[in-house]
Structure 1
Amino acid sequence: MNENTQTTGDALINWIESRRSIGNLDIPAPSMEQLKKAIHCAMTAPDHKRLQPWRFIVTKGNARHELGRAFLAAAKAKAARDGDELDEKTITKTQKLPLRAPVLITVVTRMQYHEKVPTFEQVLSAGASIQNLILALQAQGFNSVWRTGLLCNEPDVKRYFNVGSEDYVVGFIYTGTAHCGLPQRRPIEIDDFIKFEDT
Structure 2
Amino acid sequence: MDALELLLNRRSVAKLGAPAPEGKALENIIQAGLRAPDHGGLTPWRFVIAQEQGLKKLSDILVQAVMADNGDEAQLEKVKNAPFRAPMVITVIAKVTPHEKVPALEQHLSAGCAVQAMQMAAQAQGFQGMWRSGKWMFHPSVHQAFGLEGDDEIVGFLYLGTPLLEPMKVPDRNLSRFVEYL
When the two structures are superposed, what TM-score results if normalisation uses the length of structure 2? Answer: 0.94
Structure 1 runs (4+) deviating above 2 angstroms are 89-93
Query: Which of residues 32, 41, 53 in structure 1 aligns to 2:23?
Result: 32
The offset of 1:157, in angstroms, is 1.2
Residue identity matched to 1:168? E
The offset of 1:117, in angstroms, is 0.8
- Give structure 2 stretches of 5+ with no counterpart: none
Which residue does 2:58 correspond to in 1? 67
Which residue does 2:39 correspond to in 1? 48
Which residue does 1:86 correspond to in 2? 72
Structure richer in strand, relative to its length? 2
- 8 Å Cα contact 1:108/1:169 also seen in 2: yes
Query: Which of residues 138, 144, 150 in structure 1 aligns to 2:135?
Result: 150
Q: Which has the larger radius of gyration?
A: 1
- 8 Å Cα contact 2:61/2:142 also seen in 1: yes
Instruction: Please provide the CA RMSD for this pair.
Output: 1.5
- 8 Å Cα contact 1:143/1:178 also seen in 2: yes
Which residue does 1:173 correspond to in 2? 158
SS where residue 57 of structure 1 aligns?
strand
Residue identity matched to 1:29? A
In the alignment, the residues of structure 2 paired with residue 158 and residue 24 of structure 1 have an alpha-carbon distance, to the nearest angstrom, of 27
The offset of 1:178, in angstroms, is 1.2
Deviations 1:80-125 (A, max 9, x none): 3xxxx412x4322221110000001110011111111111111111
In the alignment, the residues of structure 1 paired with residue 77 and residue 108 of structure 2 have an alpha-carbon distance, to the nearest angstrom, of 32
The offset of 1:61, in angstroms, is 0.3
Residue identity matched to 1:51? L
Deviations 1:130-158 (A, max 9, x none): 11111111111100000011101212211
Deviations 1:49-76 (A, max 9, x none): 1101110011000111111111011012
In the alignment, the residues of structure 2 paired with residue 24 and residue 140 of structure 1 have an alpha-carbon distance, to the nearest angstrom, of 17
- 8 Å Cα contact 1:65/1:96 also seen in 2: no
Question: Is 1:77 matched up with 2:63?
Answer: no
Aligned residues: 182
- Give structure 1 stretches of 5+ with no counterpart: 1-7
- 8 Å Cα contact 2:36/2:114 also seen in 1: yes
The offset of 1:33, in angstroms, is 2.8
In the alignment, the residues of structure 2 paired with residue 93 and residue 46 of structure 1 have an alpha-carbon distance, to the nearest angstrom, of 34
Question: Is 1:121 matched up with 2:106?
Answer: yes
Residue identity matched to 1:86? D
Deviations 1:28-65 (A, max 9, x none): 11013322211111111111011011100110001111
